[in-house]
Amino acid sequence: VGAGARADLPALLGRHAPSARYAVVSDATVAPLYGEPLVAALAATGCAARLFTFPAGERHKSRATWEALSDAMLADRLGRDATVVAVGGGVTGDLAGFVAATFMRGIPHVQVPTSTVAMLDAAVGGKTGVDTPAGKNLVGAFHQPRLVVADTETLRTLPAAPFTEGLAEAVKHGVIADAAYLAELEAGASAILARDPAVLERVVARSVAIKAAVVADDPTETGRRAVLNFGHTVAHAIEAAAGFAVPHGVAVAVGMVTEARLGERLGCTARGTAARIGAAVERLGLPRTVPVGLATEQLIACMGGDKKVRAGTLRFALPAAIGQMVPGDAGGWSLPADLTAVRAALHEAGAAGE
Ligand SMILES: NC(=O)c1ccc[n+]([C@@H]2O[C@H](COP(=O)([O-])OP(=O)(O)OC[C@H]3O[C@@H](n4cnc5c(N)ncnc54)[C@H](O)[C@@H]3O)[C@@H](O)[C@H]2O)c1
Ligand SMILES: [Zn+2]
């Protein structure tokens, strides 16, 4: 992680992911900004590299794009000695990682995240995949990258909306693991929003350290990795109820405040935790209340279809206080919640209806 770290990519690739040929994958927006310059830098050091692009946007994180990229790599006669380098946001990382996971039964890959979501969250942890008409991320594989290089300077060209939305995951990392980090995010909010590269370097490094520690403990999500779902049960319901018109980061901000309120109601979360999270997300330009027009019952219904529902009860990963999660029952890092408490928390967070 570093401001300007992309200049070191040829050397870092040579050291951590040496390869006969590199397939650099970027979407059409990021390709001219960072994909083409990387291919040129690799060529200048005598490495064989080629750029593979696809149209930008979540709707292209699909099996059709996976097929097109895989076919283009096969037509280029790439073999098992090739390495995929994903340069871009979370869509590029998930898609290119999945291409690498399946190409010739799996070749190495490297993540070069260029969005806040990708740097703070998606590039680390090894989850790769694509969306299907039945839902997001339903087809994929766990495939760990050999190397992740986050250059915080690249965030300067990211549009304002995706920049801010990604910060919700940084707040999540502070809440689940590090009270001092949350305090730093609050105190540094204006420098973060001004995209001060040195401040962003500390933020990305801290978030990555927290996520990597949780993932290393539970790489395939059977236990502790559930803490990374904090805020996400409600967030996924908001996204589904709004037909994906509400961005993920906005939904996560509201989801964290709502789930902390739920924890306070259930008596497992220290009083004042929800208010503190609400203040933090607002300082970073994110909302704390449910978007207008979404009703409590609609959100409850959407939670019924959430993959975190086990045996008919809603389950939530909840904080005990800022910086510490409740271990949960049966070592599962999540707790059951009755619908009355969930309704009340949603209502308090601004959802319409009783
Ligand atoms: N694998 C995981 O663990 C994980 C975790 C969180 C999110 N995700 C996935 O990440 C995706 C969202 O990621 P995202 O928000 O980065 O979306 P994205 O990749 O679509 O990037 C958002 C937009 O910003 C552009 N962009 C990216 N970096 C840029 C830069 N530096 N300068 C200018 N433009 C730039 C992209 O072209 C795109 O148009 C979702 O598909 C989500 O499922 C995965
Ligand atoms: Zn998320």
Reading the block at residue 219, the tokens are 């790489």
Percent of the chain with pLDDT strictly greater than 70: 97
- What residue's CA is closest to ligand 1, atom 9? 90
pLDDT at residue 329 in the model = 76
Spacing, Cα 276 to ligand 1 middle (Å): 28
Cα distance between residue 317 and residue 160, in whole Å = 30
Determine contact, residues 141/129, Cβ cutoff 8 Å.
Answer: yes
Q: Which ligand has the shortest distance to the CA of 231? A: 2
| Whether pLDDT at 23 is above 90 | yes
Neighbours of 81 (CB within 10 A): 12
**pLDDT tens for residues 93-144?**
999 999 999 999 999 999 999 999 999 999 999 999 999 998 889 999 999 9
Distance 26 CA to ligand 1 centre (A): 11
Reduced 3-state DSSP string for 285-298: CCCCCCCCCCEHHH
Of 165, 229, 259, 283, the active-site residue reads: 229
pLDDT at res. 223: 82
Give the global pTM: 0.94
Catalytic residue among 6, 60, 206, 232: 232
- For the residues 233-246, what does the mean pLDDT come to? 93
Q: Is 225 designated active site?
A: yes
CA–CA dist 7, 29 (Å, integer): 20
In SS3 terms, 128-193 reads as: EEEEECCEEEEEEEECCCCEECCEHHHHHHCCHHHHHHHHHHHHHHHHHHCHHHHHHHHHCHHHHH
User: Pairing relation of β-strands 127-132 and 135-142?
Assistant: antiparallel
pLDDT digits (tens, 9 = 90+) for 147-200: 999 999 999 999 999 999 999 999 999 999 999 999 999 999 999 999 998 999
> Rounded distance, CA 227 to CA 283, Å?
24
Secondary structure (H, E, C), 198-239: HHHHHHHHHHHHHHHHHHHHCCCCCCHHHHHHCCHHHHHHHH
pLDDT over 50 (residue 86) = yes
- Any atom of ligand 1 within 6 Å of the Cβ of 58: yes
Smallest-distance ligand from the CA of 136: 1
- Identify the CA nearest to 188 among candidates 206, 178, 202: 202
Q: Cβ contacts of residue 192 below 8 Å, gap of 6+?
A: 167, 185, 199, 200, 203, 284
**Is residue 50 over pLDDT 70?**
yes
Is there an atom of ligand 1 within 6 Å of 24 CB? no
Active-site residue, selected from the candidate residues 6, 60, 169, 259? 169
Coil, strand or helix: which one is 87? Answer: strand
The model's confidence at residue 312, banded by pLDDT at 50, 70 and 90, is low
Return the ligand number nearest the Cα of 162.
1
Active-site entry in 60, 236, 261, 288: 236
Ligand 1 site-directed mutation target among 29, 195, 239, most atoms within 8 Å of CB: 29
Q: How far apart are CA 172 and CA 259, in angstroms?
A: 12
239 catalytically annotated: no
- Count of C-beta atoms within a 10 Å radius of residue 317: 25
